[in-house]
């Protein structure tokens, strides 16, 4: 894909800002920001300042289509150069009507029978795609030494709840049934995602356990949406000014689960499931300056209380969506690398 010249120019400006000496970066970003006993990382504060100057937002005037276009555009600015040491091929996942498109990522030199991560991109169930998260999938594949199957699940408002959740479970079932075709070990298949994708991964895991049969061996949940029925303290602390806003979340949920959808349904709010026993181990990454922080951490606590092995890792100085920014600044990459390492260990041969 050829990136248009205006995008390349803007990407160069962003890279240039992050290459400046620390003093100049601080001058652009402003005084250190402290909230709830946490200090925002300079990398995070700088990207927020650049977004403010460019009037970037997750939900744009005009709604769905402009917001989708903006997310596709943004990955060229903050995602970094494409990792050419990871190859990609298209895969079709059959479903009742038609098929779900997916991309299989394979690091160069990875042997057959590797672990595999079924990956569900973020974007509030409304925006985002395999393309917008191509850099994230490649990074996880390379760092964790696994194959990654990135899924183009159906988006709202064209396909409302629970369509995306159904696609997530179907993708895991496909990966397990066709593991040999994908070059993977059927006993080492994890599921994961970021934000809304983390929600879908958690939901699909619960559904797999409830019905019996194949279950993911690990969950990789990055700043997941876990409860659409209530607002926790972090929604008030970080209501605005940190890219994802509380109003954005309201809009996303309204698109995905319009009335009369039950927002206490565990297929939308996995934190509210009556029984969390028997779920596979999980890594849950949260961000300190994120409206969704507290519900992700509440989900980690609920899993622990149900006897599930959980590693909760709050990145106290970062914002929601930190995995999307791995092409700029070291803190975003460092935090995402930690998640990739947890995945690598979970899917290593003999890890179970």
Query: Any idea which residues carry the catalytic annotation?
Result: 195, 290, 320
Is residue 274 classed as helix, strand or coil in its secondary structure?
coil
> DSSP E strands: which ranges in 152-217?
184-194
**CB neighbourhood size of 161 (10 A):** 21
- Which strands sit side by side in the sheet containing 86-94, from one edge to the other? 86-94, 99-107, 147-151, 114-120, 184-194, 219-222, 282-289, 310-319
Residue 283 forms beta bridges with which residues? 220, 311
Burial code (b: 16+ CB inside 10 Å, e: under 16) for 217-250 equals bbbbbbbbbbbbeeebebbebbeeebbbbbebbe
Question: What CA–CA distance (Å, rounded) separates 231 from 326?
Answer: 29
Structure tokens at 340: 């990739």
Q: CA angle at residue 24 from 22 to 26, to 5 degrees? A: 70
Query: What single-letter DSSP state applies at residue 63?
Result: B
Pairwise CA distance, residues 186 & 115, whole Å: 8
Beta-bridge partners for 312: 284
Q: For residue 37, count other CB atoms closer than 10 A to its CB.
A: 7
221 near 285, Cβ under 8 Å?
yes
């Amino acid at each position: 894909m050829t990136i248009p010249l205006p995008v390349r120019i803007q990407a160069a400006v962003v890279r240039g800002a992050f290459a400046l000496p620390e003093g100049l970066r601080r001058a652009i970003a402003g005084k250190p920001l402290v909230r709830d006993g946490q200090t925002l990382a300079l990398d995070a504060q700088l990207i927020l300042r650049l977004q403010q100057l460019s009037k970037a937002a997750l939900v744009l005037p005009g709604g769905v289509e402009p917001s989708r276009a903006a997310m596709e555009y943004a990955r060229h600015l903050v995602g970094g150069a494409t990792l050419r040491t990871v190859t990609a091929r298209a895969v079709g996942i059959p479903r009742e009507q038609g098929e779900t498109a997916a991309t299989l990522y394979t690091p160069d030199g990875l042997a057959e029978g590797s672990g595999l991560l079924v990956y569900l991109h973020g974007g509030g169930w409304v925006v985002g795609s395999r393309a917008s998260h191509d850099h994230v999938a490649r990074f996880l594949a390379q760092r964790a030494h696994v194959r990654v199957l990135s899924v183009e699940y159906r988006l709202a408002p064209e396909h409302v709840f629970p369509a995306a959740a159904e696609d997530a479970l179907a993708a895991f079932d496909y990966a397990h049934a066709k593991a040999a075709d994908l070059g993977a070990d059927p006993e080492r298949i994890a599921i994961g995602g970021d934000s809304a994708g983390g929600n879908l991964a958690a939901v699909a895991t619960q559904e797999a356990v409830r019905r019996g049969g194949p279950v993911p061996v690990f969950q990789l949940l990055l700043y997941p949406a876990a409860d659409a029925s209530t607002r926790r303290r972090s929604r008030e602390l970080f209501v605005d000014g940190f890219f994802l806003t509380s109003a954005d979340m309201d809009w996303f949920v309204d698109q995905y689960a319009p009335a009369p959808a039950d927002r206490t349904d565990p297929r939308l709010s996995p934190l509210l499931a009556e029984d969390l026993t028997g779920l596979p181990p999980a890594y849950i990454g949260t961000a300190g300056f994120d409206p969704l922080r507290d519900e992700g951490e509440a989900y980690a606590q609920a899993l622990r209380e149900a006897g599930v092995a959980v590693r909760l890792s709050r990145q106290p100085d970062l914002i929601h969506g930190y995995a999307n920014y791995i092409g700029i600044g070291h803190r975003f990459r460092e935090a995402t690398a930690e998640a990739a390492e947890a995945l690598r260990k979970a899917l290593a041969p003999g890890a179970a």
